[in-house]
Copies of this chain bind each other. A is one copy, B any other.
């Protein structure tokens, strides 16, 4: 599948609406309106609403993995530096693609759309495999402890970032940060979160603490 301009328009409109109002809560008509295309184009291009969601997943997934791979292959850095880079990478990913990650989080909550579930499963497996290599490398070099439960560790990474990003309006309110602009707030959260997670990961992974 190649991504013509129209297709991308549609996928991006769908992404925003699915994030806001959920897949089932979004009429195809609204996607068409938002994308500024004819209603029938969506079936014409993607076949169905569900296939559109699949296309969106493939579209977004394509780029993600590559970035991560190149990052982890960098030989000039220690394993801990790479882990720290990984943390920042995840924070950026969630902050810059909030819509997509909301959709993905929601899809992980049920098994309704099997094609999507399979895509996510594959996606997660590949990610986890890369992280595993990184941890093993650190362990070989003696930087990291033995016996690290990677899925548990990833749950903390992804869970913390995801939860904070998706409930950031609440965080804003509770910490009286309503005066900050969206960008300022984003930077604020990024900094806090980065420091917090790097601290936790150092505790999880290294002998010192």
A residues engaging B (CB < 8 A)? 19-25, 102, 105-106, 108-112, 121, 124-125, 128, 149, 151-152, 155-156, 158-164, 166-167, 170-171, 173-175, 192-193, 196, 199-200, 203-204, 209
Contact = CB atoms under 8 A, between A and B. Distances in A.
13 contacts: A21-B112, A22-B23, A24-B24, A25-B112, A105-B109, A125-B174, A151-B174, A152-B164, A152-B192, A152-B196, A156-B160, A158-B159, A203-B209
Contacts of A102: 109-110
A162 B192 CA distance: 21
Nearest to A132: B174
Given A162-B163, A175-B151, A203-B200, A106 B106 contact: yes
B106 A22 contact: yes
A124 B172 CA distance: 13
Contacts of A159: 155-156, 158-164
A162 to B, nearest CB: 6
Chain A: interface secondary structure?
helix
B149 A196 contact: yes
A101 to B, nearest CB: 9
A110 B171 contact: no
B105 A20 contact: no
Nearest to A200: B200
A166 B108 contact: yes
Contacts of A196: 149, 152, 156
B204 A200 contact: yes
A101 B76 CA distance: 43
Given A192-B152, A200-B200, A108 B167 contact: yes
Contact of A171 (B151, B171, B200): B151
A192 B102 CA distance: 27
Nearest to A125: B174
Given A108-B166, A166-B109, A156 B200 contact: yes
